[in-house]
Structure 1
């Protein structure tokens, strides 16, 4: 009996890893105009298409195609705001839509406004919790540095939900794993994978990551790994209460980026923490990294 109880969390973790691979696969193929076929996505998780359709809906609360459609629109919404030099037509293509007309129609149905209105400031009124326009953001600027970051291979622990609670849960799991494997001196990175002003809280994903030393072997462990993209990033050193980290990100996006003359890159945003800063205490010192495009 005790042995069976021990195995249950391991099975749940393995299942979560399979589903997270599916979500990552979907995110990496959003720009493709061809529809993501059920059979291909099911194969990523090693499920039969018949079972995967029901499993995916139970996991996400949506059908596969509804989920993909919403992810395409959320990606486009971010590009419209943060890449002002990119045309709506280009953004629609990069988001997997066959035509600007189809994109505009789908965008208007989801966000309640045309892409051009969203780009001109309508996004400031969007409330992802209720799924309609409301509210206002706020204030301005500070210094940001431009840095070139290397490619990194990391182990990650993903938790879905409101960022105000999920980051602590993800880091609790990550730190326990680091302790078990003697990796406490390795760099740590937090990744909020969705924009909380666009994506509802229950759909947001947070990854707690630890960089693997060169040549380190996970010795057959079933653990989630990924590569952090290297390249050009905007960097901001934040020191203050944890509750202010979200506002610091918004300042980088809303104030610094539009006036910088640069576009937003395709890589994930991330936060670089020192090991001692991962305890739930204030103030916190963390470096914020935002990917830059051409």
Structure 2
């Protein structure tokens, strides 16, 4: 006796095709991202020291309390990270917008050459960028101090002096990521609709007025995405700083991501490292929501 084969109704199959297609992606997301996130919350609520992995007493929110109210190094790392955000983002955006506007000029010669040059810093890995700039900033053999000597200025201990160490990190980040801003904003300028710009020309608007009152508002979604990407990149910046200064001298260039790495993998306080990871994540979410709200109301 043959068992009849049960057919799935075509309408039901058609309606649920999308769910079947995204099911592997959702399963992978649950396994790779969401499960570790939930587990990290559990870890952050315990005193978890890798030297004694079986001793994991529950302490509630004490790890979070420690960072927010008791840990002075966390406050230094937070201050340094906010300083990087406050300097690098405006400078990179300003230079990026300026260079993108110059690249967008129709009478500019060798556009392809300049675009290719802008891609080069993005093609270099952050570790190589750190090593390259470590040579450039070398107090005795670095090319930067060589140019200062040509001007009759004294050499500067760019990395070893606490006054200049964070400035050096800012310089490297601006060099490495301004091309990203340029290319993103240039792509936005190229894709702008021409009808509003032509209408403004007919009405007698100057080039500056077109740029400020028409181009910038139309670019707002692209600007928002570019700045948010850079904010997240700076908050989780690790490799360049680790190669250049390793957080020193002292704690002059200690950043949140570097301090988190040190707590978890140098000192083996996994519970505190998990708590700090969530504090960094909350910081990113709050900044993103505030920035999105500001741009939406503007």
TM-score between the two structures when normalised by the length of structure 2:
0.22
Indicate the structure with greater helix content. Answer: 2
Q: Which has the higher contact order (CA 8 A, sep 6+)?
A: 2
Larger CA Rg, structure 1 vs 2 = 2
TM-score by length of 1: 0.23
